[in-house]
Amino acid sequence: MTALRQDRLLKQFHGGATANVFTWRQVIEQVGLFNTRLKSAGDMEWGNRIFQAGYQQIYAPNVRVQHPARRSFQALKKRALRLAGGAYNWCIKPEDSFVQKQKMFARLLLDKLIEPVKFSIETFRNPKVKSLGQRLGLTSISFNLRYAGAAELIRLKLGGNSNRE
């Protein structure tokens, strides 16, 4: 339910989380390595360069990759803050105009504020989530993590630096 939505990432952003991306050496040789200045979202930025270079990107729904789960709320929150910082650094570029920066910041912030509402609706409609307690618990975690990410975006907007932690 909270797995990486690779299909959505590929369609919307022309990239995916590299937890399960496969490519050929020649692609890397042509478009280059990850942008090391980004502390997060480097995989998305790299995927976008792949798309811009004209390579076909394919979502394979039958591929499964195991990835270690985070075992505490604190670990989830740390990840949420890192991802918010990565999105901020990737989407708001120093060379952008003042207006472009403001629009992108508003878009990122709005996404952080709206996403938990969408998640909550999906959670309450999901037949796999059996009890009201589970639904409320998942919804609460989603709101807390996304709003922590929104607070991180505001902190960065006010001059803070993103963290890799």
pLDDT, tens digit (0-9, with 9 covering 90-100), for 23-65: 899 999 999 998 888 878 888 889 989 999 999 888 888 887 7
pLDDT band at 3 (very low <50, low <70, confident <90, very high): low
Question: In the structure, what pLDDT confidence band is assigned to residue 1 with cuts at 50, 70 and 90?
Answer: very low
The helix or strand, by DSSP H or E, that contains position 124, with its residue range, turns out to be helix 98-125
Q: Is the pLDDT of residue 69 over 90?
A: no
What does the alpha-carbon distance between residue 123 and residue 139 come to, in Å, rounded to a whole number? 7
Q: What is the pLDDT of residue 157?
A: 94
What CA–CA distance (Å, rounded) separates 8 from 141? Answer: 22
Report, as an integer, the average pLDDT of 78-103: 91
- pTM for this entry: 0.77
Q: State residue 4's pLDDT score.
A: 66
Please report, rounded to a whole number, the percentage of residues in the chain having pLDDT higher than 70.
96
- Helix (H) / strand (E) containing 28: helix 25-31
Alpha helices in 126-158 (DSSP H): 132-157
